[in-house]
Amino acid sequence: MTHKLELTQGAPVIHLKAYSGVQVYGIDQPEVRCDINSSQLATLVEEDGQVYVTVNASCMVEVPSDSSLVIEKGMGSVKIKNIHNQIRIEKVLGNLVLNDIDQAEIGKVGGNLSVRKALIQVHAEKVAGNLTVEDVASFRCEKVGGNCRIKNVAEALVIEKMGGKFLGQEITGLAGISKIGGSLTVNNVQLSGDINVGGNIKFENAYFTDHQDLRAGGNIDVVLNEAQSDTAFMLRSGDEKIRIKVKADDIEHRGGIYDYQMGEGRISVTMAAGGRVSLTDQPGLTEDIVGDLSDKFEFEESAYSEMIQSRIDSATKMAEAKIKSAEIRLELIREKLEKNRGAIPDDDLGDLDTMFKDIEEPIRHVHRKAGKKGASDEERLMILQMLQDKKITVDEAETLFKALED
């Protein structure tokens, strides 16, 4: 079923609450459309340039592409595409996919976050799952619980802390990555600030422009950019081999500590590893280390959203069953009324006492004995009769019996 709301003002602010998975697409028409299974599961209201949309089941929502979008709550996965205004998201419990947008401010993501084609800037506070970023101007995130795969960032990249591994390439602006629980593998990335890595560091086409510390629990392998010069390297290994192969120098040292200087040494770089240390200017990694990221931008419904949808369906069926059970009780009461009405003499309406004496059985509601559970005999007969007349299915009959237990 499609809900449609014609808008009276341009560039509206869309306030969206989604209690299941939702996909939001920008369109050129001044309207909001929602494709959903039931008419009772979505509401669309416009008020003074603000549009309030609430959806209780998985659906697709289309809004003007120049809309500002505010998502207060996304209980399932969320995908947003072709929205070219401000996007603010407070919380998404499932996965979040952003594609072809201008900018976004994101609070918490319970699943994975994937961002592609962001023209201005994207900022996320916390991502519990994996992070994928491709073709963006600027990106910042305080904390990532899983792995990161970053490709083609034009300006700045900042990730303060992450639990998994980091793969990055073609980051032309400064990349600040403070703490990494796993390994770090980068190609053509200008790292800034000190870096602490729990695993290995592999740094291809490295170009250091300022003082920097690289610390790894495993090995450190650095391939220098051909333009690197005037740098003093303090190399430290955990009693493992230190190998230097730069220009005409070919050095292998096993003492655990070695200092190496290029030119005047105006920039100081410390590399401290729990394993071996390798410094060279001969290219090593030539392949696409991040790889194809296309599959990371597909909409995938989260298990949490599916659970919510299942509960909504169950509650809807139970509500329908209770309505039918109420209809059965009303039908029984109506039959009692009809039966007792027939016992009243039509030609004697003057003496009320005589009228009530002529009624053999008083009118009473259908009820169960104290302590008795389940449907009454009349209710059971009514349900069985409806089943026999094929007005309800066997499953619906069972649901009615369960509803009458309450």
- The pLDDT tens digits of the residues spanning 155-197 come to 999 999 999 999 999 998 888 998 999 999 999 888 888 999 9
Instruction: Say yes or no: 270 and 328 in one domain.
Output: no
Instruction: Say yes or no: 333 and 263 in one domain.
Output: no
Instruction: Say yes or no: 116 and 173 in one domain.
Output: yes
Q: Confidence band (pLDDT; 50, 70, 90) for 300? A: confident
**Whether the Cβ atoms of residue 131 and residue 148 lie closer than 8 Å to each other:** yes
36 against 279, higher pLDDT? 279
Helix locations, 49-141, DSSP H: none
Question: Which pLDDT belongs to residue 294?
Answer: 86
Is there a domain that residue 295 lies in?
no
Pick from 7-16, 190-199, 328-337: least confident: 328-337
User: In this model, does residue 371 exceed pLDDT 60?
Assistant: no
Is there a domain that residue 285 lies in?
no
Instruction: Say yes or no: 6 and 152 in one domain.
Output: yes
Tell me which H or E stretch contains 150. strand 148-153
User: In this model, does residue 27 exceed pLDDT 90?
Assistant: yes
pLDDT in tens, 381-395: 777 777 777 777 777
| Alpha-carbon distances, residue 396 vs 110, 214, 218, 312, 400 (angstroms) | 37, 66, 62, 17, 6
For the entire predicted model, the pTM comes to: 0.75
**Whether the Cβ atoms of residue 269 and residue 234 lie closer than 8 Å to each other:** yes
Is there a domain that residue 289 lies in?
no
Instruction: Say yes or no: 197 and 337 in one domain.
Output: no
Looking at the structure of the chain, the number of domains it has is 2
Q: Confidence band (pLDDT; 50, 70, 90) for 40? A: low
Instruction: Say yes or no: 251 and 320 in one domain.
Output: no
Instruction: Say yes or no: 185 and 63 in one domain.
Output: yes
DSSP secondary structure code for residue 182 in this structure: S
Instruction: Say yes or no: 31 and 79 in one domain.
Output: yes
Is there a domain that residue 68 lies in?
yes
DSSP class per residue in 348-360: --S-HHHHHHH-S
Instruction: Say yes or no: 209 and 346 in one domain.
Output: no
| Alpha-carbon distances, residue 19 vs 61, 71, 79, 310 (angstroms) | 13, 11, 14, 12
Question: Which pLDDT belongs to residue 237?
Answer: 93
| Alpha-carbon distances, residue 334 vs 23, 286, 329, 365, 377 (angstroms) | 48, 84, 9, 10, 16
Instruction: Say yes or no: 272 and 311 in one domain.
Output: no
Instruction: Say yes or no: 198 and 336 in one domain.
Output: no
**Cα-to-chain-centroid distance, residue 27:** 22
**Whether the Cβ atoms of residue 191 and residue 173 lie closer than 8 Å to each other:** no
Question: Which pLDDT belongs to residue 296?
Answer: 84
User: In this model, does residue 150 exceed pLDDT 50?
Assistant: yes
| Domain limits for position 353 | 303-403
Q: Residues 260-265: what's their mean pLDDT? A: 94
